[in-house]
Amino acid sequence: MTPIYDTWHLSYKSVFGALRQNRNCRFSIRLPKDVIPDFTPVMVLFRTGFKERFIPMNVSGEEEDCFVYSCDYTPRYTDVHYYYFSYTCGGTRYYIKKKDAHCGGIDGGALFQLTVYGENYETPDFLKGGVMYQIFPDRFCRSGKVHENIPYGRVIREDWGGTPYYRPDHNGHVWNNDYFGGDLDGIRSKLEYLRDLGVTCIYLNPIFEAHENHRYNTADYMKVDPLLGTNEDFEALCRDAAEYGISVILDGVFSHTGSDSVYFNKNGRYPEPGAYQSWDSKYHDWYSFIHFPDTYEAWWGIDTLPNVNENNESYTEFICGEDGVLHYWLSLGAAGFRLDVADELPDQFLNNLRKSVKSFDKDKVVIGEVWEDASNKESYGVKRRYLLGNQLDSVMNYPFREAIINYIRGGKPSDFIRSVMTILENYPKPSIDVLMNFVSTHDIERAINRLGGENCDNHSKEWMAEKWLTPEQYAHGKNLLKAAMALQFFLPGVPSIYYGDEAGLQGYKDPFNRRCYPWGHEDKELIEYVSELSRVRRSIPNMKDGRTYFVINEEEITDNRLIAFTRQGADTDYIVFVNRSGENVSLGNVPGLLSRFRSFEPYIGEFDGETISVPPYGYSIIKAKFVS
C-alpha cells in the first residue's frame, strides 16, 4: 500500500531533512482514488508562538492507486517549524500526522518537524572527513619535564596507571586532587603516534589552571595549568601538531568557574579580592549571591562551582571581547572550542560567542555538549536555537552513541535506523558533516566495558574501582567494540576516539573512565584495527560530506545481524555493511536487494557481484552507481 506521506522519500518531500532558509521545498501527499476531498487539502505549518499557516495542495499527479496533491513552501524564518496535513471528506475532517519515525497516516498523532537554518550557515572544512581524538590531559602521557610553581594542595602520583582516588573524606567530600602528571609536552611526544592512528584533530579536556584534576572548575582562564606546562607549551603543541596535519580544539567551560579561582577566590589563594571576598571586587557582578557571601547559585548546587551570569556585560567582554579569552587562545593556535554544558549557556551569550570566534577566523569551530536531539531541545523552559546558524557549528552526538551501543548489544535494526535517521532528518546538513561521533567520553563508561562487562548503574564506586573485565569479557567487548567503531567511523560526522579506547583501556564511570593510557601494555591488534578504519575512511571522498540512507532493514531482510547504508557521492556511492555477530554473514542477491543501484564493484571485503560476505564483528564495502 502506498504511504500517504513519507519524509524519507524525495517524491513526498523534495529536500530531505532540514531546509536552508529561502530554499524551496515541494511537499506531496498521496490519497487513494476513492478518497474525494470536499475541498483542497492543506498543509498546516507553524512555529512556536506564531499562528498557523495554511498552504493549499493541488493535484499534481496520478498514480495507479492514488492521486498526488502537492504544495511548495519557501521558508523565510530560521526556526524549528512543525506541520501536518488536513482534508475533509464527506463533511469529516481528517488529519495526516506522524504514525512512526517518518511516515504519515490518518491515525497518526505527532507533528512533523522541519528545521529551517540560516541561508549563509556553513561549518569549518578542516574537520570534515577527519578523525578526532579526545584527551584527558592528566592521564594521556607525561613528558617527565619538571614543572614549576605547582599550586599547593595537590597529590602527585608516581604510580602511572594506578586507580584514581575516589573515596570521600570524613565530610563526604571527594577532593579530585590526585595528579598522574600527564602534560602538554607528553602529548607533543605522541603526535607521530596520533598521526599514524589517522587523527586530524585533538580535543583537549580543560587545560586552564584549576585545582581539581578534571579542571572543570576554572581558576584562571588565561593560563595553562602549571602541571600541564605553560602557555608557550600550548602554542608549541599547536604548531607541532599542524606539521602532522592535526588541529587542536579546547574545552570551554563558561557556565561556571571554580570557587577557588582568581574570580571568586573563596579560598583566598589569589592576591586580588574575588567576588566571594568583597562587594567591591570587579568580579562580584559575575555571580548571583542569595546571602552574601556563603550562599550563591552554583552548578547543580555544587558549591565549588559557582555559576556565572553569562550575559553580564563585563563577563561577556572578558570571554568574547577582542582581548578576551576566546581570541587569546585562538591566537595561540587553537582551532576552536567544545562548549561544556551548552544547555546552561543562554542564547545571547552563545550568539556573542559564535560572533567572537568567527570574527577571528570563520574556519574555527564551535561544538556544544548537548545530550539529546539538539534541534528541538528545551532547557529551563526555553526552546534552544543551537543549530539554526547563529550559535553552534555542531554538537556531541550522544543520540548516535546510544543507537550504536544498543544495536551492537542486540537491539533491533529498525530502532537503530530510526534513531540515526531522526538526527539526520532534524539537523542541518552543515552540522551533520562535523558531528562529534563517539562511543566513549570522560562522562560515561568506556564502550568496551558497556559492551563486554556488567551493567554498572547500580554498583558502588568501590565495585567499579576493583572490577576488571575477565579475559572472556574483554575478548567479547573488544569484538563488539570493533563493530561499534565501524559504525562510528562510517556514519556521517567526525569519529571521536576517546584516548585509550583504541588500546583496550578499561573503565566504568568517572573517575575510572579516566585512567592512565597504558603505554607499553597496549592492545596492538586493536590499535591496528582503528588505524585501518582511519585509512579506509580517508580513502573514501564521500566520507567528508556524502549523504546517508539505509539500504537494508528488518522489513527487507531476515538477517538482523547486518546493517547497511550508503555514503552518496556525485558519481559513486559507497555502501557499507557492518556485521555485529561472531559469524561470517553472507548476503545474496545484492543487485536485487539494491535495485536502485548499478555497476557494483568490491571495495573492502569479498563481493562476487551477487553475494557479499561480511566478516565477524567487521565490515565490507562495495561501490555502486545510484540510478533511481
Residues catalogued as catalytic: 340, 369
Residue by residue, DSSP assigns 520-585 as TS--HHHHHHHHHHHHHHHH-GGGTT--EEEEE-TTT-S-TTEEEEEE--SS-EEEEEEE-SSS-E
From 355, 361, 319, select the one nearest 125 (Cα to Cα): 361
The letter for the amino acid at 338 is: R
Contact 549, 8 (CB under 8 A): yes
Question: Cα dist. 270→259, 273, 315 in Å?
Answer: 11, 8, 19
The C-alpha cell that represents 240 in the structure block: 607541532
First to last CA, the chain: 20
Q: In what order do the strands lie in the sheet with 619-626?
A: 548-552, 562-567, 573-579, 619-626, 597-604
Angle 501-505-506 from CA coordinates, rounded to 5°: 110
The letter for the amino acid at 454 is: E
The C-alpha cell that represents 502 in the structure block: 583504541
Residue by residue, DSSP assigns 215-248 as --SEEEEEEE-TTT--HHHHHHHHHHHHHTT-EE
Strands 573-579 vs 619-626: parallel, antiparallel or unpaired: antiparallel
Give the C-alpha separation, 316 to 325, whole Å: 10
Give the other-Cβ count within 10 Å of 159's Cβ. Answer: 9
Give the C-alpha separation, 220 to 91, whole Å: 69
Three-state SS string across 161-210, please? CCCCCCCCCCCCCCCCCEECCCCHHHHHHCHHHHHHHCCCEEEECCCEEE
- DSSP letter at 3 equals -
Contact 131, 494 (CB under 8 A): yes
> Is the preceding omega at residue 346 within 30 degrees of 0, hence cis?
no
- SS3 (DSSP) at 352: helix
- SS3 (DSSP) at 591: helix
**φ, ψ of residue 291 in degrees (nearest 5):** -135, 105
Give the C-alpha separation, 58 to 77, whole Å: 25
Residue in the structure block whose three cell numbers are 600550548: 234
Give the C-alpha separation, 408 to 206, whole Å: 31
Give the C-alpha separation, 335 to 247, whole Å: 6
Give the C-alpha separation, 111 to 96, whole Å: 9
From 214, 159, 155, select the one nearest 514 (Cα to Cα): 214
Beta bridge pairs of residue 338: 251, 367
Give the C-alpha separation, 441 to 448, whole Å: 12
